[in-house]
Amino acid sequence: MFSKTKFLHWIKRYGPAEISGTIAVYIAFFTVEHFSSFVLAAGFIGAMAENVGFYSVIFYQRLKDKHNHKNKTKMLTDMLAEFGPAEVLDSFFLRPLCLVLGANLLGPEIGVLVGKIVGDVCFYIPVIATYEIQQRRNRAKQIKASSILP
């Protein structure tokens, strides 16, 4: 299941969104911390801002994909299936906890990055598994459809 080719594909697929999310989490975390000095609030707001940065890019990428122009409902349900289950746990518990613990244990500059990376690892395990299952199903449907054609 894991190969260099797949890893590079995942980097291409999720990398730009991660860059956007990382910028957003830093801006939000340090803005909230500066004005409130409440690290827990900074963790939650940082996680939400990361989601905005991340999913803005993901949504844009999916809209650019010519296969998604025909059926936007399928695009949205595929995104929900790919990210939904992991996102619920990530947004409301895991990522804020990782950001807060990282900032408290390592200082905010390094701790936010370490917390984000730990959160990303936990997030991408189910996301990539779901994505790969979706890809296998799509390939099986294509094979089945091509075998039916004369």
* Per-domain residue ranges of the chain: 4-148
Work out the average pLDDT over 99-125: 93
Contact 103, 42 (CB under 8 A): yes
Return the structure tokens found at 47: 């996680």
Cα–Cα dist 14/11, whole Å: 5
- Exposed e or buried b per residue across 89-126, where buried means at least 16 C-beta atoms within 10 angstroms of its C-beta: ebbeebbbbbbbbbbeeeebeebbbbbbebbbebbbeb
40-93 tens-digit pLDDT: 899 999 999 999 999 999 999 998 887 766 788 888 888 998 999 899 999 889
